A and B are shown apart, each in its own frame.
Chain A
Amino acid sequence: MKRFVLRFLRSPEGVAGLILLSCLVAMALLAPVLFPRDPLAIVGRPLTAPFTDASLPLGTDRLGRDVLAGLMHGARASLLVGIFAALVAILVGAVVGTVAGFAGGLIDEALMRVVDAFQIVPGFLLALAFVSVTGPSLPVIVFAIALGAWTGPARLARAEVLSIRERDYVAAARVIGMHPAEIAFKEVLPNALPPVLALVSVIVASAVLIEAALSFLNLGDPNIVTWGSMIAEGRNVLRTAPYLSIVPGFGLVLTVLGVYLFGEGLVEGMAHRRRRQ
């Protein structure tokens, strides 16, 4: 573990990602401390230019809402959605993949056809349909995004389980009379998980982008500020105040970049460990 951390810190990508993500997490955590007021509240004259008012450093949007407060609170929404969508997707994918791979036969066949079906429907369309049916709120959006993201982990977990279930310790568990479900979830699943976890960074990054696109299309949670909704709001005054759309976009780019870089550092750390074995 210590070696892994050292390797991670030695890869320039990992360090850059770590720095970016730490800044974002700090932003998300400090948002309610520095800006305890609702970021959707009107606090000044509409379209105050940035750097003109000391109390509103980045100015206000078309409705007179504080842009800096929106940016800080927006980091919260992006990170929350990204992390929880990835968690749900990995969890569902790992369970489905383990059941399919461990049970085999007809159950495997049926589950994999369901995976196929989810894979041929564009994930964004699925999220769009799900949110429009159930109504936009943060948990619904998390679930809607996970709905299109669990197939990758499921396939990977299944492939991993297929090789693990032939190992000796699984046979040993069978011999001592463990229940198949117990073997699948206590012995096989934990060992199948590491390669699946390598997908986390990709899923978090795409979840952040999908959430942004949904709220850009006005399908985000209307009660919280997100960078996507800020971009959409700024679009109305794109010609006169383009920074209102451009600045939150940079937030998204840096978040996604940070997640990718961090993920690459993790893979690097793990690859070295595997080579050593």
Chain B
Amino acid sequence: MKRAWTLVRRRMVSSIPVLLIVVVGTFLLLEMASGDAVDAYLVSLGGGDAGLAQSLRESYGLDRSALARLWLYVSALARLDLGVSVAFNRPILDIILERLPNTLWLMGSATVLAFTLGTLLGIVAGAKPGGAADRALSVGSLALYAIPSFWLGLVLSLVFAVQLRWFPTAGIETIASGKTGLARALDIARHLVLPVAALGMIYLALFLRMMRAGMAEVWRQDFVLAARAKGLARRRIVLRHVARNALLPLVTMLGLQAATMLGGSVVIESVFAIPGFGRLAYEAVAARDAPLLMGIIVVSAVLVIVVNLLVDLAYAWLDPRVGAGEASS
């Protein structure tokens, strides 16, 4: 327990400067944009006079120097205030928190699908490196790895939603269905099947290939030879000795993939019209809503830090060697 706490504290302290770099970098990037949020807002209104623009800039603090605005932003951020969206005319944090659950469900389900299925198939392939199953799965996973997720999403929705009508084509739930409780959960689950499959496939292939490669590596080690010499059943050797030891690197991969998966959800949510965090990013770009885009990048960085922290904790729990000697250093 103490070990976990040390790990959390260390990670939080070291992520503060990194987060600050993200904030400053994003600020500088959006500073490069021609025109500001007020311009975009006036365009959406259909124009306005210079006086209105001036008063709006004053109310948003846009008339001050870049450095003053950066300071204003960082100090507001410290109070968990991300500012107000121009396009939605609402606090940015509220919009993001409203959209985030959909994306977390999508990413969580895709991760669970990719991890379990990828690991299991990886064990099948790695049980006998060079065998028929191994070769078939290796070709299959490579092909899967090369498929763009948004295109897979389109093809899946064409086959399973348009042609076969098994699943709905778009959205997160049936609009105004009045469903509650379990019925609503099932409705959402049905809407999520295709997007989760489209988002998760590439990671399934990744985990399969990593598991297989890891197992091929472990097979060569001495303790596997010892287990064989003891006359243990092959099944037991595969599962208890080889697969178990090949599993740890996959847990690390889980954290590394969090950022790319968050990026992938932008396209998938646009294909399936899911009102989530990723689609919000696209809406922010389309509406030229710089403050919203900035908030999205900052929140996604925080999200990735949190996921990596959770992965580290899981890793420390799985492998007692991790972090044991760090308390003194």
Measured CB to CB, the residues of A under 8 A from B are: 113-114, 116-117, 119-126, 128-130, 132-134, 205, 209, 212-213, 216-217, 219, 231, 235, 238-239, 242, 245-246, 249, 252-254, 256-257, 260-261
Contact = CB atoms under 8 A, between A and B. Distances in A.
Nearest to A114: B21
Contact of A128 (B32, B148, B260, B281): B281
B260 A113 contact: no
Q: Which of B21, B293, B296 has the most CB of A within 10 A?
A: B21
B22 interface: yes
A128 B301 contact: no
Contacts of A205: 146
Q: Interface SS of chain B: helix, strand, loop or mixed?
A: helix
Contacts of B18: 113, 116-117, 120
B318 interface: no
Contact residue range for chain B?
Answer: 35 or more
B77 interface: no
Given A120-B259, A253-B147, A113 B21 contact: yes
15 contacts: A116-B21, A121-B301, A129-B297, A209-B148, A212-B151, A213-B150, A231-B154, A242-B158, A245-B151, A246-B155, A249-B151, A252-B146, A253-B143, A253-B147, A260-B145
Interface string B178-218: 00000000000000000000000000000000000000000
A166 B18 CA distance: 29
A238 B150 CA distance: 14
Nearest to B296: A125
Contacts of B158: 238-239, 242, 246
Q: Closest 8 A-B residue pairs measured CB to CB?
A: A124-B263, A122-B263, A117-B21, A256-B146, A249-B151, A257-B146, A132-B285, A133-B33
A241 to B, nearest CB: 11
Given A121-B300, A238-B162, 18 more contacts: A117-B21, A120-B18, A120-B259, A121-B259, A124-B264, A125-B263, A125-B266, A125-B296, A126-B297, A128-B266, A129-B29, A212-B148, A216-B150, A217-B267, A219-B285, A253-B148, A256-B147, A260-B142
Contacts of A117: 18-19, 21-22, 25, 301
Contact of B260 (A122, A254, A261): A122
A129 B26 contact: yes
Q: Which of A122, A252, A254, A260 has the most CB of B within 10 A?
A: A122
A114 B296 CA distance: 19
A236 B153 CA distance: 15
B267 A216 contact: yes
Contacts of A121: 22, 26, 259, 297, 300-301, 304
Interface string B271-311: 00000000001100100100001001100110011001000
Contacts of A216: 150, 267
Contacts of B263: 122-125
A17 B83 CA distance: 50
A239 B161 CA distance: 11
Contacts of B270: 217
A159 to B, nearest CB: 16
Contacts of A249: 147-148, 151, 154-155
Contacts of B308: 120
B30 A133 contact: yes
A4 to B, nearest CB: 23
Nearest to A126: B297
A120 B154 contact: no
B51 interface: no
A122 B300 contact: yes
Q: Which of A119, A125, A235 has the most CB of B within 10 A?
A: A125
B150 A129 contact: no
B108 to A, nearest CB: 16
B153 to A, nearest CB: 10
Contact of B293 (A132, A209, A242): A132
B142 A257 contact: yes
A199 to B, nearest CB: 14
Given A117-B21, A249-B155, A122 B146 contact: no
Interface in B127-163: 142-143, 145-151, 154-155, 158, 162
A128 B300 CA distance: 13
Nearest to B268: A213
Contacts of A212: 148, 150-151
Contacts of A122: 259-260, 262-263, 300, 304
A124 B18 CA distance: 19
Interface string B81-121: 00000000000000000000000000000000000000000
